[in-house]
Amino acid sequence: MPPRIVRRLIFAPSVILITIGWIILTPLLLVLAVVTHPSRRGRRRILRLLFFSVAWLVMESATLIASLGLWIASGFGGRLRSRASQTRHYGLVRWFMNTLFPVLTRLFKVTIDVEEPELTPEEAAARLTRPVIVLSRHAGPGDSFLILHQLLATYRRRPTIVMKGALQFDPVVDVVINRLPHAFVWPSKGPGSGVTQEITRLATGLGNADALLIFPEGGNFTHGRRERAIHRLEESGQHEAAQRARGMSNLLAPRTGGVLAAVEAAPTADVIFVAHTGLDDLITVRDIWRSLPMEQTVKSRWWRVPAAQIPRAREEQVTWLYTWWERIDQWIAENRPQRAALGAGKRAAEGAR
């Protein structure tokens, strides 16, 4: 990554300048889009992407300007780490997501269907009084956006995030997330990558309104990554884990180190498992382009495991995690939308006409 001073003085202002230029060019781009790529069966892919790009850039610029205001209000950065300042920054992230969420769903014709744990008195109390570690599968574009929106808007949680370091090239992520509890991690094959240590640090400081979000697979699902993950387990002598991973056709084998570190560092935290399906087959840019508008229901299922029910012996925790991953894999197989299984080929044929 370039030094922070470069990112602040060049990257962030560049977004605002690009936004202004893009808005000025939008009428011309709209005319060109209509003339050069007339609508086929109401799909209007270029127009949808153009409107979304305008909305995204405007929100990015507004958030950066608001972040500057919060920096000034904090005494020019002197109180950025205070509880009050972090609350304001979480509010800014919530506003950003609440504004873009309906734009996303309407432009791309996506319906979100979330099945939550039954709202018993115990569940209602847990939502208010206990920290949580959220373990989610990773597949399809925007799944982290949907999960963070659910945590912020529905559960009013303060997410603590483990993200890929390259996401800091987005100025909003770089500016806002670096002011909140977070860990940016970089791919590494060695044991000194520091990912587990960073997760331990974040989990240790979890409060009752906090949620630590981890994607145990380490990346979006692809069939190639699935085979490589199984191969790594076999090479390291974890033959039972490799066999169980081979029995899961929709998930990568979970990387246990970070999950077990989080559970150990936050023994009072409940664990929430998140499954979702609907965007699974959108792997490449070409897949996404051909799918627009998606006309898809994204189904999601959330399960809560109380802290008292989580095993404490490491070997039992590994078995427990794999058992839950198998349950999620089965749920995905049973709830995968018809379009995800059959519609990709049909859309590709339509796009070729």
Whether 180 and 67 have beta carbons less than 8 Å apart is answered as: no
Query: Domain residues for 94?
Result: 4-352
Which one is predicted more confidently, 290 or 94?
A: 94
State the pLDDT confidence band at 71, using cuts at 50, 70 and 90. very high
Band (pLDDT 50/70/90 cuts) for residue 330 is very high
HSE value, Cβ hemisphere, 13 Å, CA-based, for 303: 13
- Whole-number pLDDT of residue 114: 93
CA distance linking residue 332 with residue 9, whole number of Å: 45
- Domain count within the chain: 1
Q: What is the pLDDT of residue 229?
A: 93
Q: What is the CA radius of gyration of the chain?
A: 21
Q: From CA 238, how far away is CA 245, in angstroms rounded?
A: 11
Percent of the chain clearing pLDDT 90 (strictly above): 62
pLDDT of residue 336: 85
Q: Give the integer Cα–Cα distance in Å for 273 and 214.
A: 10
| Residue 124 pLDDT exceeds 50 | yes
Is the C-alpha dihedral spanning 254, 259, 261, 267 positive or negative? negative
| Cα pseudo-dihedral 162, 91, 112, 286, rounded to 10 | -60
Cα–Cα distance between 263 and 219 in angstroms, integer?
A: 21
293 CB-contact burial (10 Å; exposed 0-12 / middle 13-18 / buried 19+): middle
The set of residues, in sequence order, having a beta carbon less than 8 Å from that of 32 and lying 6+ positions away, is: none
